[in-house]
Amino acid sequence: MDAQKIVNGVKVDALFGTIDAVKKAPVIAKFKFRANNKWINCGHNRTTIKNFYGTQQDHPHETHFELDADEPPILLGEDKGPNPVEYLLTALAACVTTSIVYHAAAKGITIKSMESRLEGDIDLQGFLGLREDVRRGYEQIRMTFKIDADVSDEELEELMRLGPTFSPVYDSITQGVPVTVTLDKTSSRAAAA
Amino acid sequence: MDAQKIVNGVKVDALFGTIDAVKKAPVIAKFKFRANNKWINCGHNRTTIKNFYGTQQDHPHETHFELDADEPPILLGEDKGPNPVEYLLTALAACVTTSIVYHAAAKGITIKSMESRLEGDIDLQGFLGLREDVRRGYEQIRMTFKIDADVSDEELEELMRLGPTFSPVYDSITQGVPVTVTLDKTSSRAAAA
The beta-carbon contacts of B10-19 under 8 Å, at least 24 apart in sequence, are B10/A42, B10/A43, B10/A76, B10/B101, B10/B102, B10/B105, B10/B106, B11/A76, B12/B105, B12/B106, B12/B108, B14/A76, B15/A76, B15/B102, B15/B105, B15/B106, B16/B106, B18/A76, B18/A128, B19/A128, B19/A130
pLDDT for residue A4: 84
Within the 140-179 window of chain A, which residues sit less than 8 Å (CB to CB) from chain B? 140-149, 153, 156-157, 160-161, 163-164, 166-179
Within the 113-142 window of chain B, which residues sit less than 8 Å (CB to CB) from chain A? 113-130, 135-142
CA distance A68 to chain B (A): 9
A136, A123 contact by CB (below 8 A): no
Q: What is the mean pLDDT of residues B82-111?
A: 98
pLDDT above 70 covers what percent of chain A? 95
Largest CA distance in chain A: 67
State the Cα–Cα distance between residues A163 and A92, nearest whole angstrom.
10
Q: How many CA atoms lie within 13 A of A89 on its CB side?
A: 34
Q: Which of A10, A147, A188 sits opposite B76 (nearest CB)?
A: A10
Amino acid at A24: K
pTM of the predicted structure, to 2 decimals: 0.96
Q: Assess: ipTM above 0.90.
A: yes
* Structural domain A83-176, CATH architecture: 2-Layer Sandwich (3.30)
B189 or B178: which carries more pLDDT confidence? B178
Chain A / chain B CB contacts < 8 angstroms = 486
pLDDT for residue A191: 46
Q: Write out the E strands in A42-184.
A: 44-54, 57-69, 111-123, 140-149, 179-183
Q: Which of A39, A140, A189 sits opposite B177 (nearest CB)?
A: A140
Distant-in-sequence, close-in-space partners of B113: CB < 8 Å, separation ≥ 6: A39, B146, B147, B148
pLDDT for residue B193: 45
The per-residue pLDDT of chain B, averaged, comes to: 95
Strand order through the sheet with B44-54: B57-69, B44-54, B30-41, A111-123, A140-149, B179-183
With 70 as the cut, is the pLDDT of residue B1 above it? no
With 90 as the cut, is the pLDDT of residue B26 above it? yes
pLDDT for residue A192: 45
pLDDT for residue A185: 84
Per-residue pLDDT of chain A (193 residues), as tens digits, is 456 899 999 999 999 999 999 999 999 999 999 999 999 999 999 999 999 999 999 999 999 999 999 999 999 999 999 999 999 999 999 999 999 999 999 999 999 999 999 999 999 999 999 999 999 999 999 999 999 999 998 899 999 999 999 999 999 999 999 999 999 987 776 544 4
pLDDT above 90 covers what percent of chain A? 92
With 50 as the cut, is the pLDDT of residue B191 above it? no
State the Cα–Cα distance between residues A96 and A119, nearest whole angstrom.
15
A138, A147 contact by CB (below 8 A): no
List, as one string, the DSSP characters of A11-66. EHHHHHHHHHHHHH-GGGGEEEEEEEEEEEETTEEEEEEEEEEETTEEEEEEEEEE
- Would you tell me the crossing angle of helices A84-106 and B168-175 to the nearest 10 degrees? 40
Within the 69-98 window of chain B, which residues sit less than 8 Å (CB to CB) from chain A? 69, 71-72, 74-76, 79, 81-98
pLDDT for residue B192: 44
Q: Which of A148, A171, A144, A172 is nearest to A159 (CA)?
A: A148
CA distance B5 to chain A (A): 13
Determine contact: B26 vs chain A, CB below 8 A: yes
pLDDT for residue A186: 77
For residue A23, give the chain B residue with the closest CA. B130
pLDDT-derived band at B2 (thresholds 50, 70, 90) equals low
Q: What are phi and psi of A162, to 5 degrees?
A: -60, -30
* Interface contact flag, A117 B35, Cβ < 8 Å: yes
Determine contact: A12 vs chain B, CB below 8 A: no
Determine contact: B48 vs chain A, CB below 8 A: no
* Interface contact flag, A160 B181, Cβ < 8 Å: yes
For residue A90, give the chain B residue with the closest CA. B47
B28, B60 contact by CB (below 8 A): no
Strands B140-149 and A179-183, sheet pairing: parallel
pLDDT for residue A175: 98
With 80 as the cut, is the pLDDT of residue B187 above it? no
B31, A122 contact by CB (below 8 A): yes
Mutation choice for A interface testing from B20, B30, B33 by most A CBs within 10 A: B33
The pLDDT tens digits of the residues spanning A160-176 come to 999 999 999 999 999 99
Amino acid at B37: N
